[in-house]
Structure 1
Amino acid sequence: MQVDMHIHTIESDGTFTPEEIIKRGLKNNVTAIAITDHDTVAGIEEGIKFSNELGMEFIPGIEISCNEENLEVHILGYYLNLDDAKFIREIDELKKERETRNFKIIENFKKIGIIIDEEKLKKNAPGNIISRLHFAKYLVSEGIVKSKDEAFIRYLGKNGLAYEPKENFPPERAVKIISDNGGFVSLAHPFLITPDVDLLDKLIERLKPYGLDALEAQYSSFSKTQIKSLKRIAKKHGLIITGGSDFHGSNRTGIDIGCGGLEYQQLELIKEKLKLKKEERV
């Protein structure tokens, strides 16, 4: 694909720097990318710098992690205004909430007799945030589990011994934060939220009034049937399509930059939609 709108760097739970992302994208014949780290924009300035130097069209983005009853809902934001002080404060609050959750996870491990060395944990997270994936890598490095999958099954997943739910952060709030910033808003990998189309319909209907613009239908792990289904859902609700690989480097094997995403003409539709949206706000 020419456009990859879902990529993670070392600033969240990826293993590539923004510079390495740009270079790999160019190598894979991608012409435009978005860095969409979880709950942080820490890699955006570096992404802009190297994309300008190396000749890559760059989209400042983010992926905000939300909770919806028993579901994990992720909201993607694009074409962000990083000069918006209110937006930056909201993102800083996300980081604080994540740090609070991480502290509780460490306490949960302590209760079951596993002491987490926080300095070693941080070495597994060179970027701006610590995620459950970093906990999983730590558990592997310490020989507590044999694989990251085992770490999630035994300790970090929803039924895990050290699991700690995310503080209440509804997806409506995430959509509004991005929309108020002037950005373009997409519901990330909908069928990873739930395969229940009726449930997705209800979620979309709730989020649209807050500024939802799109569905991430062209996602790297979705089948052709799933993609067609999501396109029908998007059309039903008057939404545009986004797409991406969800590249995490070595933290997610079998996925490379450009293996999911959009053709460039689809990106042009997004730009036009965003232009109209901004004109309506004036």
Structure 2
Amino acid sequence: MPVFIGPIDLHTHSSVSDGTETPAQLMRSAAAAGMGTVALTDHDSTAGWSEAAGVVAETGVALIPGMELSTRVQFASVHMLAYLVDPTEAALLAETERIRAGRLSRAEEIVRRIARDYDLTWDDVLAQTTPDATVGRPHIADALVARGLATDRSAAFAGILHWRAGYYQPHYAPDPLTGVRLIRGAGGVPVLAHPGTRGAESVIPVQRLKALVDAGLFGLEIDHRENTPDARERLHVLARRFDLVVTGSSDYHGEGKPNRFGEHTTDPAVLERIVAEATGATPVMP
């Protein structure tokens, strides 16, 4: 078993999805912030793993290869952190390709709707992406900022990209139970991402959580800036009841969000349990 040096941050995004730094830049930023271990968890993609792994020796920061898998319950997004999956496993690969295609067509439709009322084009959005990036609403937000239609990403999401503005369009994603099974089928370890952002009343119902645990859910990301205090209390109760590990993470996006490395961290013993559970991939150590 590798020995992991803290601080440990198990949720970060690079320019492969909606972060603003390349995977290598992200690892260097993690080192500059004093991190010992980080997980790269881009949305529905493992494309950044190789680049991030290539600078592990340089940075001295251990890498946990991961992904944030999109799932959905009706119109509500439910994100699943997938640690140490086999990136070549056929079923997971096919599903992530389908999700990314859905994200792309959804983004195009949102831009078409916005363009009826604002000076925004699809080329404006593409100018904010990198090759092979998982295109999403954050890239539209960046295009709105570049066009002077919003002051920053947060303002874009609070304004034009808010669902009440009338431009919102959902994208395809499997249900959470399918997501857990896909991750486990690829030898990975599933942890429910920031499950308390809408308060204790909206925390996952017990019977639904039990079904996910029975399918292989391994943990809850409780220590996250977007989880409300009352939701965290409720989630800790559920974690004890179902013997789930508790993780903490920054959800770092570079300059795309105010989240900073290490603002929440994971206990090394918890990461050791996650690594021991995985069979799809292995950590990359300095």
Tell me the TM-score range normalised by the shorter chain.
Answer: 0.7 to 0.9
Deviations 1:152-178 (A, max 9, x none): 233322222211022353122221211
Q: 1:235 aligns with which of 226, 231, 240?
A: 240
Give the TM-score normalised by the residue count of structure 2. Answer: 0.86
For residues 17 and 96 of structure 1, do their structure 2 counterparts lie closer, same or farther at Cα, with a shift above 3 Å needed? same
- Aligned mates of 1:83, 1:129 — CA distance in 2: 18
SS at match of 1:64: strand
Are positions 1:24 and 2:29 aligned together? yes
Q: Output aligned runs, 1:187-226, within 5 Å.
A: 187-192=192-197, 194-196=199-201, 199-222=204-227, 226=231
Corresponding residue for residue 120 of structure 2: 116
For residues 193 and 54 of structure 1, do their structure 2 counterparts lie closer, same or farther at Cα, with a shift above 3 Å needed? same
Q: 1:257 aligns with which of 258, 261, 264?
A: 261
Q: CA deviation at 1:206?
A: 2.9
**1:60 partner amino acid:** P
Corresponding residue for residue 253 of structure 2: 248
- Aligned mates of 2:265, 2:31 — CA distance in 1: 15
Question: In the alignment, is the contact (CA less than 8 A) between 1:87 and 1:177 conserved in 2?
Answer: yes
Are positions 1:133 and 2:169 aligned together? no
Corresponding residue for residue 168 of structure 2: 163
SS at match of 2:247: strand
Unpaired runs of 5+ residues, structure 2, are 1-5, 280-286
Deviations 1:250-272 (A, max 9, x none): 1111x211211212222122233
- Higher percent of residues as helix: 1
Q: CA deviation at 1:48?
A: 1.5
Corresponding residue for residue 279 of structure 1: none
For residues 16 and 168 of structure 1, do their structure 2 counterparts lie closer, same or farther at Cα, with a shift above 3 Å needed? closer
- Aligned mates of 1:29, 1:149 — CA distance in 2: 27
Deviations 1:4-29 (A, max 9, x none): 00000011111111112212222223
Unpaired runs of 5+ residues, structure 1, are 276-282
Question: Aligned-residue CA RMSD in angstroms?
Answer: 2.3
**2:268 partner amino acid:** Y
For residues 168 and 3 of structure 1, do their structure 2 counterparts lie closer, same or farther at Cα, with a shift above 3 Å needed? closer
Are positions 1:3 and 2:8 aligned together? yes
- Aligned mates of 1:131, 1:58 — CA distance in 2: 25
Q: CA deviation at 1:91?
A: 1.6
Corresponding residue for residue 186 of structure 2: 181
SS at match of 1:159: helix
**1:244 partner amino acid:** S
Q: 2:79 aligns with which of 74, 90, 113?
A: 74
Deviations 1:183-235 (A, max 9, x none): 00000001025532664424312322332111111224546765444222111
Q: 2:98 aligns with which of 78, 90, 93?
A: 93
Structure 1 ranges of 4+ moved more than 6 A: none
Q: CA deviation at 1:115?
A: 5.2
- Aligned mates of 2:203, 2:38 — CA distance in 1: 32
Q: CA deviation at 1:237?
A: 1.6
For residues 49 and 147 of structure 1, do their structure 2 counterparts lie closer, same or farther at Cα, with a shift above 3 Å needed? closer
SS at match of 2:67: strand
Length, aligned pairs only: 273
Deviations 1:44-73 (A, max 9, x none): 111122114433221111111222124221
SS at match of 1:177: helix
Q: CA deviation at 1:89?
A: 2.3
For residues 54 and 150 of structure 1, do their structure 2 counterparts lie closer, same or farther at Cα, with a shift above 3 Å needed? closer
